[in-house]
Amino acid sequence: MTDAIALLVVVPIVLALAPIAFGRLWNRTGWLAAFAASFAHLGLSLAVAATVFTTGRFTYAVGNYRPPFGIELVADGVSATLALLVSVVTVAVVVYARRAGPDTNEFYSGLLLLTAGISGVFVTGDLFNLYVFIEITGLATYALVATGRSPAAALSSLKYLLVGTIGASLYLLGVGYLYISTGTLNMADLAATIPEVGYDSPLILTGFGLIVVGLAVKAALFPLHTWQPDAYADSPDSVTAYISALVSTAAAYALFRVIYAVFTPAFDAATPFALDALVILASVSVVVGSVLAVLQSDIKRMLAYSSVAQFGLIVAGFAVANTTAVTGGLIHLVGHAIMKAGLFVGVGALAGVAGGYTVDDFAGLADRAPVTSAAFAVLAFALVGVPPAVGFAGKWHIVLGAVEGGRWGVAGVAIVSTLLTLAYFARVVERMYFRDAPAELAADADRAADGALASDGGSGPTDETDGGSGPSDGGDDDASVAPGESAISIEARAIVVVAAVGAVVLGLFASDLVSVFEPVLEVYFQ
Amino acid sequence: MIDLLGTHYNYLVFVALVGIGLYGVTASTNLVKKIIGLNVFQVGIFLFFVTSGYVDGAAPPVVGHGSGPYASPLPHVLILTAIVVGVSLTAVALALVVRIYDAYGTLDEEAIREVQLND
């Protein structure tokens, strides 16, 4: 069943053509193709995972060209788990998008291309092939962000394109530096030839720097995150859920592969300042991302900045460079994807009931939509790191590994970030559960004041129109109080609840995740 | 120094193109000029790859075309792929520019920001 690994990429790409080819004949082609592709992908990733868990790591030579010369696909515990994650998120988003939109053929084509690109990033064992998949992921993401109706979505998408392309090009330049010094692009082969060239060779060091900066742009680490909040806030909810769960995850995973499969821990031992710099970049990202999240009044933006912080934490785990911390980073990578996707679907669903995306709009929601609110709260506390959820397992391993490695700074930053995460989620959950719905004029006036304040913090124009609505809109708000849980589609409710349950169950089985990831890491840390 | 200019001018052009491209992306407020800058930046990187595969006086690596040293064709092939990626990116970027122009009536970043603030 080793062919399944190649089909993980091929199936979504081929089916992505179906909506374009047959969309005119039958309007529902897009959804059906995406639905079929997502379940086919699930089957294939289960097959890959079954092979990996029974017989261990395997490789696949594309086109039967022998690996150092041809392109190699690699499946091990980490890539199999992440491929499974892609399938699960794709199934959920395809189901969600049918009701929540944008339910068009173009959207499903873009979604399938994105699925193919991300799957490719997770399975490839070749640096240039990785560049191509990163760019496929990027192109599809730019198109999906622009499916938002507002003109601001097109602008955010273009901004993302400019920054993202520069990031990917810097990565390509880094790959070029490695290629001219070693003459190979295969990851396993590079790991063997880089020591021959010498870890302190300027070409190797510059290559490492360029690759790390390029991927940090894609993973949205501070200060390279500027594209991310706009892109997340202006996309349709289903797109935000998908890209927040998988796109930055793919970049962070690529960073993990580059650090460990290409440069290996021996590089870290020879040139400690390279990973020291990465630890500092990641730690700053954690703190600044969390603080910016606390300052937001738009919940989608808050979650976007929260991703900046969480990815800082994940990369910090990778950069600590011992088995425990890297395992923690990988667990948090998987856990963050599930929790963020659930949170964004939850925000989209709850905003339909609340009538807006700001923190104040969410006041009193728990009475009106109890099930979704409860699941949202569970996910929020899971991301904070309350045991037994998966957020706790990831952070625990990162902190433990940081202490083991003597990186007290990372341990401190992880704990501070937990407090800040609690600060921005507690604000939302408190309003949902302990405030009355903003039906009265007084609440409206409050909101106007908050809106004016928030626009200083850089939130979008949506706040101002909301705040400026004033008393005349009061009647409208009264009317919008009426829709309750029933206004949320059954799919959205199911997805948020499944994500919440998944986050807790994954936390309970975190030791199994550790036993899946550890054999992969042991090879690197020999 | 002069020697270096004579023998490594291709790498100097690569650095110049990358620098000019980055300057274009960051300094210009016009969105189309930013895209042009992005293209110049990418072309610089393409030049780096292509020029690294070229060896003075080398034969093409084809059977029956002289004896070694051979020039490496792999960087050229890689860049063919990268050029395709670059063209697709430019196409997506221009499509977005068309939409932005329809919505705001301008391509100047500052002007668009003003329109957004007035909304």
- Nearest beta carbon to residue A161 from set B49, B93, B104: B93
> CB–CB of A146 and B75 under 8 A?
no
> Does A142 contact chain B (CB < 8 Å)?
yes
Distance between CA A416 and CA A434 in Å, rounded? 26
- Using alpha carbons, select from A23, A223, A238, A34 the residue that is nearest to residue A145: A238
> Does B101 contact chain A (CB < 8 Å)?
no
**pLDDT tops 80 at residue B6:** no
- For residue range A433-456, list pLDDT tens digits in order: 887 766 543 444 444 444 444 444
How does DSSP assign A361-399, residue by residue?
A: GGTTHHHHSHHHHHHHHHHHHHHHT-TTSHHHHHHHHHH
- For residue range B52-111, list pLDDT tens digits in order: 887 777 777 777 777 777 887 888 888 999 999 999 999 999 999 999 998 888 888 888
> CB–CB of A143 and B82 under 8 A?
no
pTM for the model stands at: 0.88
Residue pair A382/A339 in contact (Cβ under 8 Å)? The answer is yes
Lowest mean pLDDT among A147-151, A265-269, B55-59: B55-59
Look-up: residue for tokens 């990996």? Answer: A52
What mean pLDDT value characterizes chain A?
84
> CB–CB of A158 and B103 under 8 A?
no
Structure confidence at residue A247 as a pLDDT band (50, 70, 90): very high
Averaged pLDDT for residues B41-55: 89
- For residue range A394-417, list pLDDT tens digits in order: 899 999 999 988 888 888 998 888
Tell me: cis bond preceding A102? Omega within 30 of 0 counts. yes
> Does B79 contact chain A (CB < 8 Å)?
no
Structure confidence at residue A69 as a pLDDT band (50, 70, 90): confident
Cα atoms in the Cβ-side hemisphere of radius 13 Å centred on A332: 32
> CB–CB of B45 and A169 under 8 A?
yes
Helix (H) or strand (E) holding A58: strand A58-61
Lowest mean pLDDT among A33-42, A203-212, A282-291, B51-60: B51-60
Structure confidence at residue B16 as a pLDDT band (50, 70, 90): very high
> CB–CB of A146 and B99 under 8 A?
yes
Q: Which chain B positions have a beta carbon within 8 Å of A158's beta carbon?
A: 31, 93, 96-97, 100
> Does A70 contact chain B (CB < 8 Å)?
no
Size of interface A-B (CB pairs under 8 A): 71
> Does B25 contact chain A (CB < 8 Å)?
yes
**pLDDT tops 80 at residue A458:** no
- Using alpha carbons, select from A10, A72, A62 the residue that is nearest to residue A40: A10
**Interface confidence: ipTM more than 0.90:** yes
Residues 457-486 of A with CB under 8 A from B: 461, 465
Note the pLDDT of residue A39: 92
- For residue range A313-337, list pLDDT tens digits in order: 999 999 988 888 999 999 999 999 9
